[in-house]
Structure 1
């Protein structure tokens, strides 16, 4: 069945991130409009099996009304994006996946003033890179141009849920540093800044301590920010 351009963009975005909330879809494709047009298109795409939806439990309990719907690929959307491979939907809401999407939506919000433009983004596994013999698996890769300053920014975003142990974080930091040492072979004109997005100040302090334990050169490769403070105003990283 033929899809209008925006519907196809919605389906491909859901494919890229795995899951999106209705709020993500509104922010990315229906900015400045009421909820009605987005809800109508999401309902149509769901009825036509391009999308399937899960309901996020309402934190207020049954008294608070229904929770927000989460959208993922339906059978038709899977076929559109992934061909004839076996349909394998999520069985539950994935908070990490949704947090990655929220980070991207926050970056896209920079475009509202016209000064910034997101020129490229990639999610797993398309953003994975092997550099210097080590594999990097960030959650999100984004390139942004600041038209006013005529400057480009590139980020590898790591959405930290506070569940990885210190040894895992240290290994991840070492991989990025090793890749940076071999950056001449990477093809990057601007080496991406690795931004860890963390849920609270305690976790932010913990990751910053781990970064300071590395070599002085390595420390400049990383930034640790609270999820609700990203991206920073003016991109002054």
Structure 2
């Protein structure tokens, strides 16, 4: 259906979207993929508990029917997870609608619309972890922990390293509280890379700091490395301790489950 949508039709459909529809499209543009349960927490949390899943299914079904949203072939949790295990992404119609939705927004439109494709399992799980971190930060923002003016995922999260190359963090975020700002480059480690490979990646940030490089908001960000379990955390902490300065100030590491709360705590230090 999306291949037959004229640009005029896309513009008319974009104009008819509700505020919630537009927020869904923008969050999919930001994160690339969201699981059904993540979508519910982001956009249907304000409804009665018994209504959230039903409303989410109805809204997403409508956005799928007009060619703005698609589901990937894989599900999280298998068939028994039902629609909460669906993984959503922008369809080509939704990508083409972004310039109309972004008239007053902050995100950049894609260079061209692409048909959705289902990535490999490892890439998919890693991307869902990045999306989960975003969801947790939004939930903390709702609770008054900070404001979240910026959260970018790759490739929008990438920035020059000051030495002619590019740093490619999994995500970049800017947090604000009581006039204080913290900028973070985030590496979501799933313990699939060797420690020497991770060391090379972190050394690139040390070189960036030495060069006086700046991130997307004109700030030299610190780097948060999230890890899946305590064994990996101990290994990463040892690695950071062996890196040259300013590694001690530049890096923080945390279990993935604690990462969002750690960012909130550091902002108040």
TM over 0.5: yes
1:217 equivalent in alignment to 2:231: no
Q: 1:9-20 alignment to 2 at 5 Å?
A: 9-20=23-34
Can you list the C-alpha shifts for 1:111-163, whole angstroms capped at 9, x where unaligned?
1233411011211111211122132101111111113xx32111111111111
**Of 77, 89, 93, which aligns to 1:58?**
77
SS in 2 for 1:28: helix
Is the Cα–Cα contact under 8 Å of residues 14 and 20 in structure 1 kept in the other structure?
Answer: yes
CA RMSD of aligned residues (A): 2.4
Please, which runs of 5 or more residues in structure 2 have no aligned partner? 1-12, 99-109
User: Going by fraction, where is strand more abundant, 1 or 2?
Assistant: 1
In structure 2, the residue matched to 1:73 is: 90
Is the Cα–Cα contact under 8 Å of residues 72 and 89 in structure 1 kept in the other structure?
Answer: no
Equivalenced residue count is: 232
SS in 2 for 1:120: strand
TM-score in terms of structure 2 length = 0.77
Is the Cα–Cα contact under 8 Å of residues 135 and 175 in structure 1 kept in the other structure?
Answer: no
- Partners of 2:221 and 2:213 in 1: how far apart? 13
TM-score in terms of structure 1 length = 0.87
- Partners of 2:142 and 2:112 in 1: how far apart? 38
Can you list the C-alpha shifts for 1:179-219, whole angstroms capped at 9, x where unaligned?
11122666866432211111101111111111111124222
Q: CA deviation at 1:235?
A: 2.4
Is the Cα–Cα contact under 8 Å of residues 35 and 128 in structure 2 kept in the other structure?
Answer: yes
Please, which runs of 5 or more residues in structure 1 have no aligned partner? none
In structure 1, the residue matched to 2:22 is: 8
Q: CA deviation at 1:78?
A: 3.1
Q: Quickly say closer, same or farther: Cα 1:182–1:191, change in 2 above 3 A.
A: same
In structure 2, the residue matched to 1:162 is: 191
In structure 2, the residue matched to 1:142 is: 173
- Partners of 1:189 and 1:88 in 2: how far apart? 33
1:39 equivalent in alignment to 2:53: no
In structure 2, the residue matched to 1:129 is: 159
In structure 1, the residue matched to 2:105 is: none
- Partners of 1:145 and 1:102 in 2: how far apart? 20
Is the Cα–Cα contact under 8 Å of residues 74 and 89 in structure 1 kept in the other structure?
Answer: no
User: Going by fraction, where is helix more abundant, 1 or 2?
Assistant: 2
